[in-house]
Every structure is written in C-alpha cells, then in structure tokens.
Chains A and B, each alone.
Chain A
C-alpha cells in the first residue's frame, strides 16, 4: 500500500503543480493579467454539469454544440459569476488558455509515450518518435503545406494519418511469422525515419514561398491553438493513457526480458502490439497538433525515474503529469521572449543540457 500511497501523493503534487503552472502561465504575456483575475475568469468559464468536456475550458458555447450534436440537451450552469473585465476574459479564455491547455495535453501525451517506449525497448535512448511516428507526421504535414491538397481535417488530419501509417509500416517491416523482435523494430524505425527525412527534404525543396510555414511546423509549435484542437486531442490522449496505464504492470514484467515475461504468463507479442499501437496513437495525437517537439518524451521519463523509481505503476502517471508541467512551462518561455520561438527549440535548448547533466551523473547509464 505504500506504493499506492506514493502514487497518489506524487500525482496529487504534480497535478497541483500543473494547475499552478497553467494559472501562472495564463498571467504571462504581452499584457500581464494578475492571478486572481485569471482564476476568476477560469472559474466563470466552468460549466456544470460537464459531460466529459474539458475542465476549466471556459467556453460553454462549443461544449453545448457538441453535446447537442448527440441529441443531449444538458443545461450548463456556471456556478461562478465573478466580475472580470471583458478584455482580460477574452485574452485568458480565448487566447492563452487554449494554448496552455494544449501544451499540457501534448506534454502529457509525449511523456507517457516516452515512458512506455523506454520500458518497451529497454533502451534509455528510446523516445516516442523512435518507431517513425514523428517522421510520418512531419511528412504528412509538410506534404499538406507544400502541395495544394484538400483532405478532411486538413493539416492535423494529414499529420495524424502520416504518423499512424508510418508506425504501422515500421511494425509490418519488423514483423515476421507473428513475432516482432524489438531490435528489428528499432532498426526498421530508424530506416523509415531516414527515408522519410529524405522525402521531407525533397518536399521542402519544392516548397517555394511555403517553405517558412513548413519549417515552422517542423520545429514544433503551439502557436494559434484553438479549443477545437483541445477537444479533439484530449479524448484521444486520455483514452490512450488509460489503456497504457492498464498495462503498467505488464511493462514492469517485460523489463525482465521477453522470455521471462512469457513464462510469467504475459502474452508477449499481443502485449507488444497493444503497447506499440496505443503509444503510436497518443504520440500521433500530440504531434499532429503541435509538430515535432523533441526531448519531452525522452527526458521527462528519465527525470521521473530518478525521483520515483522504475515501477511503471507510479512512473507512468507521474511522468505524464510532469511532461504536462514541463511543456506548459517551456511554452510559456517560448511565447514570452522578445520574438516568439517554436516551443520545440526551447524544449531542446533546455532539455539537452539537462540531459547531459544527468549523463554526467551516470544515472542514465544504469537506466
């Protein structure tokens, strides 16, 4: 029960930190808005009952529409009615919060996927993009930007589809006779990434005046995020996370090696398929809306492993929450500099030195 207590404690602490970082993040920007005003704006926006809609979204209209869409006529009651200046309300709920909440979801997803991939591959260098998901998303997105394509769900749809197609391709390449050796999977992933890198470079050459937009997407950004993106990404992320969490114990046993895991009653190949598939979906959901944001999925799990230990039952939820906090914080830095930076630059610029610090402490060698 101590483990359960520790899990709850860590998750509660990190959730508190996440809420704090969201609120503080919302105060920061070209116009500073004091925390009490932000808090009031958020509380005003809360609508009860929420039918599986974003907590703290503050946007009742979109929620009401989506609910009416499935024929439910649920009345939304806002329990709070604080006096908030209209410009502040709009800035907080329509400009900053969607972006901040999306950053949290993306960080949450990438860190969860990274934790699973490192455990799955038993490799400290594994991250969510290792099976070609990010490259696939990038190829899809760049193709959409460069060529005048008309597809449903546009850029995000193309990126999401590209991510899943390439993950599936890597899986097919690595599978023989119903077995998917992890080492082959890793190499197939690298091969596909390299190939897609060539494809992306070629498309960029053809991009012409769209080059800047494509490059900007590739660097990973959360610019101009909307509640719609949040509403699409959040359910994907939460459902996928719940599946991964249900497999936390299997991940622990898989760390013993596949032979041992089998003799301990794990259907190894089926478990690998589920983990790969779900980790790909959660990564694809994140990458489709935010572009390629490096290092979150690599570093956050390492840091949390040092803090809470290797047991996935506690590591997976805490890593996911820490990833959310980390990306909210780095995105706040990214958008408040003299010129707005793609958040991918900030995560890499802050993450890499920290990673080197961990390496020098030798902690990462031991994995």
Chain B
C-alpha cells in the first residue's frame, strides 16, 4: 500500500531523512520510532506529499505521491497530525465532516453517504455525544479523537498518524491505539459487514516505545534520518539498536502483563561492563518488581554478549510469546531487516 524506497529528504539544506526504505502493507500497523529529530515527522510528510523527497520514490498503491492530485491523495491516505489548531470555533461534527472534503466536488452538496460516514466515524471514536459541542470546549484527548474521526471519514485505505498519543494520558493513549489497531485488523477478524476490504495500512510515529511495541505489527527505528532497524517489535527493539539510536543504555525486558518488549532507559551510554549490568538489574527490578527474576536473568545474559547481534536472538526467544493479545499471527519474530549502514549515522 505505502512504499518508501530509498527516500532522502532535505529540509533547509540538511538531509533529515537519509535513504530510508520501508513498506506499510494493508492490515499492518507499522510504528515509526526513534529519538527526537530522527526524521519521523518528515518521513510522514514525505508520504502525504507535504515535502518532496530529494531522491527516492514514495509510492501509494503503485503511484508516485508527487504525481497524485491532493484530492486523489486525500482519498488514499488520511493523516492525523501532531497538533491541530482550529482558530475558529466549529462544532465537533463540522470538523469531522471536513474529512469528507476529498470525496466531494466543489458544487456537490453533502450526500447521504457523507453523512453516514461522519456519523460512523463519530460513533467509532465515541464522540457521538460531543458532536454538537464546540471544538474549543472539548479536552485534549477528545480533540485528538476528533482529528482521528476526521481521518476516519476520509475512508482511505492508508492512515498516517504523527504522535497520536503524545499529549494524552495513558488511558486516552491506549484508547487511541486500540482504535487504530482495530481499524487495521478489521478485515482480518470479522469485518463488521460494512466493508470487506482488508483493513487499513497504518503508519504511526510513536514516542512511547512500550506502546509502540505493544500495538504495532512492525517497527521502523529511525536514527539521524536513517533506518537503523526494521522488523517485528522483538526484532527491532534490541538493546544494541536502541543504544545506537538513542545514545543511552537501555534494558529490554518482556513486559510482565502484555509480554511485549518493554524498554527502560538506564543512563548515558558507556561501554557495557559487568558493573553497568548490575546497576541495570537493580534499576529494572525497582521498575517492574513482578519480573525481578526474569529481568535479572536477562541482564545477566546481556552483560555477556552486549553489542553482538546474537542478542537479537535472545530477545526474540524471550519475547516470542508477545503476540497473544496484541497482534495475532506474526510468527516471524526475529527477522530484523538490518541495514548495512548502522554505523554510518
């Protein structure tokens, strides 16, 4: 559905995305992770046509983004931006119905299909009760849902989300990602009868690594504009990758409840030693007391082979059971797409 191929983007003279390649197929939620300034937002803007790549191809359904009209693009991909400010005081329903813009010509009146799409999006995001409230009077979490509802009624197969959970508390953050998760795996599960397509292709820039690991089918780790690792959460979220990307020592442990990889930042990156391994163990144990034994073991194992790629396999094995609640049927954990230029950043 969405294909990014060897794309570089230059903004203000600086290359903020460097030779990035990844795909977002339908029925998959792909998380875009990486430190601040890694190029996550720019990558998303290259896909929805807001910035033009310096080189490489961004394709949506086989067509280059640059060749598509804004309207066609709006029918294929919907974007949930990081922050939306609406200067004027519109009712929630009107803001949501702006998502129908790419489906209507200038002189077309609102059709029944338009109205149904708006009501469906409002129900889906649990905004039906707020539909007549003014956009200025709803909370931050509700506002984010309004923007998501706007994107939903675009009825596009592709969905781009730029930090959809950034300003939300944990409850609202999880609710939003649950909703996106549902949209992506819709066709696979039961399909609700309203559409028989295969679920959306979603790409979400997510800051919170634990949320990303829990909800995404695949992760793309960006650092300094380049793709450092890509693959299942277990494969992408290794201590070696994360230390390289974030410049901080981390411990990756299976989350005691979800089983997804859970990342704890420890301290400034230094050459790994038994001492730091020990301190890591103690930090982690205070964080998740439920898994003291497990994390102690994991860190011990890590101290032996830090930096080597074998830790991938260790991770994959220890977190192989993560798929129980979050994403059914990916049995390919451990297949990380390692790019050759890890150290070229």
Contacts and interface: CB of A to CB of B under 8 A. Distances in A.
Interface residues of A, number: 26
A267 B69 contact: yes
Interface stretch (B80-88, B204-212, B276-284): B80-88
B136 interface: yes
A264 B69 contact: no
Contact of A266 (B70, B81, B88, B99): B70
Nearest to B101: A264
Classify the secondary structure of B's interface with A. mixed
Contacts of B84: 256-257, 260
Interface in B59-102: 69-75, 77-79, 81, 84-90, 94-95, 98-99, 101-102
Contacts of B102: 264-265
B89 A263 contact: no
A249 interface: yes
Contacts, number: 81
A367 B88 contact: yes
A310 B95 CA distance: 12
B86 A264 contact: no
Contacts of A311: 90, 94
Interface in B80-130: 81, 84-90, 94-95, 98-99, 101-102, 104, 106-107
A366 B95 CA distance: 17
A264 B49 contact: no
Contacts of A259: 45, 50, 79, 81
A204 B206 CA distance: 62
Nearest to B90: A310
A259 B45 CA distance: 9
Contact of A310 (B45, B74, B88): B88
A265 B85 contact: no
A268 interface: yes
Contacts of B85: 257
A252 B98 contact: yes
A263 B69 contact: no
B86 A255 contact: yes
A99 interface: no
A264 B50 contact: no
A262 B99 contact: no
A358 to B, nearest CB: 15
B154 interface: yes
A246 interface: yes
Contacts of A262: 48-50, 70
A7 to B, nearest CB: 12
A3 to B, nearest CB: 9
A263 B82 CA distance: 13
A244 to B, nearest CB: 12
Interface in A223-267: 246-247, 249-250, 252-253, 255-257, 259-260, 262-267
Contacts of B150: 264
Contact of B107 (A119, A246, A255, A264): A246
A310 B89 contact: yes
A265 B75 contact: yes
Interface string B132-165: 0000100000000000001000100000100000
A122 interface: yes
A122 B77 CA distance: 26
Given A260-B84, A310-B88, A246 B106 contact: yes
Contacts of A310: 88-90
A312 to B, nearest CB: 9
A153 to B, nearest CB: 33
A367 B90 CA distance: 11
30 contacts: A122-B87, A246-B106, A246-B107, A249-B101, A249-B104, A252-B98, A253-B101, A256-B98, A257-B85, A259-B45, A259-B50, A259-B79, A262-B48, A262-B49, A262-B50, A263-B48, A263-B50, A263-B74, A263-B77, A264-B98, A264-B150, A265-B72, A265-B75, A267-B69, A309-B90, A310-B88, A310-B90, A311-B94, A366-B89, A366-B136
List the 7 closest pairs (A to B, CB-CB), nearest first. A265-B74, A265-B102, A310-B88, A263-B79, A265-B71, A264-B101, A267-B70
Interface of A: 119, 122, 246-247, 249-250, 252-253, 255-257, 259-260, 262-268, 305, 309-311, 366-367
Interface of B: 45, 48-50, 69-75, 77-79, 81, 84-90, 94-95, 98-99, 101-102, 104, 106-107, 136, 150, 154, 160
